[in-house]
Amino acid sequence: MSVLVLGTVAQDTVKTPFGRRAHILGGSAVHFSMSCRFFTDVSLVAVVGEDFPQKYIRFLRGKGVDLTSLAQAAGKTFAWEGEYRGDLNSALTLHTELGVLATFRPQVALRQRKIKHVFLANVDPDIQMGLLKQMSPPAFVGLDSMNYWIHQKRRALLRALKQVHIYVANDQEARDLTGEKNLIKAAKALRSFGPRMVLIKKGEHGVFFYSDAFKAALPAYPVEKVVDPTGAGDTFAGGFMGYLAGAKKIHETSVKKALAFGTVVASFNVEDFGVARTARLTMQEVRARLLGFKRYSSF
Amino acid sequence: MSVLVLGTVAQDTVKTPFGRRAHILGGSAVHFSMSCRFFTDVSLVAVVGEDFPQKYIRFLRGKGVDLTSLAQAAGKTFAWEGEYRGDLNSALTLHTELGVLATFRPQVALRQRKIKHVFLANVDPDIQMGLLKQMSPPAFVGLDSMNYWIHQKRRALLRALKQVHIYVANDQEARDLTGEKNLIKAAKALRSFGPRMVLIKKGEHGVFFYSDAFKAALPAYPVEKVVDPTGAGDTFAGGFMGYLAGAKKIHETSVKKALAFGTVVASFNVEDFGVARTARLTMQEVRARLLGFKRYSSF
């Protein structure tokens, strides 16, 4: 089994109470892949500019990420600069430079078009749909978005939601898109927009999953020293989608296990800047923490 | 086994998106008792004024609550008026009338002084300690407080924390008392103030438990129609303390089960105004929802 992810590859500059890192490897597709790789093969669809360091390409390849559909275009790599203060629950964006992302039209290599599990990380909903059209109808499609598209391209986003199996949102996005304050009502409203499953990420408060057949919730794994939360949501999604791609069936048992694995890998991601922690993470560590998480969250 | 609770008996006037109720039965000791009674005998220590309706006395007696140490004093019953808007996660206090609470000095009936499980719901920390001095050293003491005492009587509260086994706080109180934004760090700091166990209530996000031996977290039970959240925290505490009083030992298994029972009873409390829902609740309903909650929150 295999997962294809569309998203961003970025150079992030991040400041947190634990320090500052400039031009480190980041982006939704990167964080997703660094987590997904523990469970299944992962193919990344994104674009970088001429300035993108070759060492990052080597690094991702070394981690087993298939970069066949990673395009390089004239211009600068997408760059994000942000700062976290206080409880590190929300980022203050200091600077965004779209660079080559502004004109990006993803092209999936022919041999990757039959991949059955697809994750559309946060980019323009029309671009997300453009990718989906290139694929042989996949078995399972997940989509993430963000407030910018909810407000600027609401209709395109709603059209896209009709084409996917699971919508992954954070709590604020779920509330903004539906106008519902109660998260359970918001999830129900999102379900009515099309996707059979809705997954709401609540940061330090864990995740909530909604479908007609069952609902589920897990707390976050308790991390005392959150160094850099950037990419935690994409890391979560990578573990979640990766585990499901490897599971025989998508049903209550596998979905809940996928939520747990996503939670655990995300909890490692926040322990260091960028992908520093997930880069040195082992499956043995993931499994050990999963056991601890089960004890922590069960009664 | 038996639990003694010190707290308020109030007449609440509450407005939520689902309507308004005037002068209904409320108060921390009432909500606590209405939940605790499902698991063990409960004795209430509080004060009411001359205006307190006899029907509420009959109601509480009818629910099996021991009112021997409920004092009646000249003056008005403590009255609170509040409103919930939006997502119903926080109340806007419109009016508070302390009435007889202003001069209340609790007196525990002699035969109740040997009760082994004591819960000190939110009142002046000096009053909480005054009650504790009347008791034969209890086996297990829980204490709740609020922001008012954290800011106005911080030193008295810190003295009180040295005398109790478990401190029950909401997330904001935990942050305010410790100055720590990260809840795990906050819980650890609270532990260092004295209590062996720390329980942080996070409303719609569930609960977090901290001790040296183990940590635990549970999500909230998903209630779609939250009619009135008043007293949810005290209802939770009543279920938690009641279950533990009935358990043979206080250890990881019983504490986690107590967290689950507290969560479930609290989820009923918010489904109607005041104690309307817990008044008609049955142990059969509690057990059925506990099973659903286990499925919902486990993997």
pLDDT tens digit sequence for B259-283: 999 999 999 999 999 999 999 999 9
| Mean pLDDT of the residues in chain A | 96
Residue B152, pLDDT score: 94
Adjacent-strand bridge partners of B42: B3, B65
Model confidence band, residue B43 (pLDDT cutoffs 50, 70, 90): very high
Domain extent at residue A195: 2-297
Residue B248, pLDDT score: 85
Does pLDDT of B88 surpass 90?
A: no
Q: What is the mean pLDDT of residues A83-108?
A: 90
Q: Which of B214, B220, B297 has the CB atom closest to A218's CB atom?
A: B297
Is B294 touching A (CB cutoff 8 A)? yes
CB contact under 8 A, A223 and B184: yes
CB contact under 8 A, A295 and B182: no
CB contact under 8 A, A218 and B219: yes
Q: Angle at Cα B201 formed by Cα A91 and Cα A18, nearest 5°?
A: 30
A-facing residues of B in 231-260 (CB < 8 A) are: 256-257, 259-260
Q: What is the mean pLDDT of residues B90-107?
A: 92
Surface-to-core class of residue A249, CB atoms within 10 Å of its CB (0-12 exposed, 13-18 middle, 19+ buried): exposed
A188 contacts in chain B (CB < 8 Å): 224
Does pLDDT of B85 surpass 90?
A: no
Give tens-digit pLDDT for A221-233. Answer: 999 889 999 999 9
Residue A187, pLDDT score: 97
Closest CA to A273 of A31, A35, A8, A5: A31
B179 contacts in chain A (CB < 8 Å): none
Model confidence band, residue A102 (pLDDT cutoffs 50, 70, 90): very high
A183 contacts in chain B (CB < 8 Å): 204
CB contact under 8 A, A184 and B224: yes
Interface predicted TM-score (ipTM):
0.91
CB contact under 8 A, B299 and A224: no
Model confidence band, residue B213 (pLDDT cutoffs 50, 70, 90): very high
Domain total of chain A: 1
Higher pLDDT, B248 or B265: B265
Say if strands A91-97 and A79-84 run parallel, antiparallel, or are unpaired: antiparallel
Does pLDDT of A54 surpass 90?
A: yes
Q: Are B239 and B256 in contact (CB under 8 A)?
A: no
Give tens-digit pLDDT for B113-150. Answer: 999 999 999 999 999 999 999 999 998 999 999 989 99
Is A219 touching B (CB cutoff 8 A)? yes
A-facing residues of B in 31-90 (CB < 8 A) are: 86-88
Does pLDDT of B87 surpass 90?
A: no
Query: pTM here?
Result: 0.93
Distance CA A90, CA A84 (A): 6
CATH of the domain at B40: 3.40.1190.20
End-to-end alpha-carbon separation of chain A, Å? Answer: 34
A-facing residues of B in 84-143 (CB < 8 A) are: 86-88
Distance from CA of A295 to the nearest CA of B (A): 8
Mutate to test the interface with A, among B172, B180, B190, B205 (most CBs of A within 10 A): B205
DSSP letter, residue A93: E
Does pLDDT of A91 surpass 90?
A: no
CB contact under 8 A, A188 and B218: no
Q: What is the mean pLDDT of residues A141-164?
A: 95
